[in-house]
Amino acid sequence: MKKKCIVITCLTFAFLLLVAFVLPPKIPINFGFNGKKAEISVYFILLLSPIPALCYWDRNRKNRK
């Protein structure tokens, strides 16, 4: 199961890396009530790559019991 999670993470990372080249260099975000404009780097989305593997691992772990 660990190998499958690693493969899922690598595939997601590769997909998000390809998407990162299509998006603009800075992505505007809105947090807070003061209307302050904030921007994050497009490469910040690469931190999201382990999420599908974690969801798969959690679902697989719950189904074993």
Mean pLDDT of the chain: 83
Beta strand spans in the chain (E): 26-29, 38-41
Write the pLDDT tens digit of every residue in 47-61: 888 888 888 888 887
Give residue 1's pLDDT band: very low, low, confident or very high (50, 70, 90): low
Distance CA 16, CA 31 (A): 23
pLDDT of residue 18: 92
pTM: 0.70
Domain residue spans of the chain: 2-50
Write the pLDDT tens digit of every residue in 27-42: 888 766 666 677 888 8
pLDDT of residue 32: 61
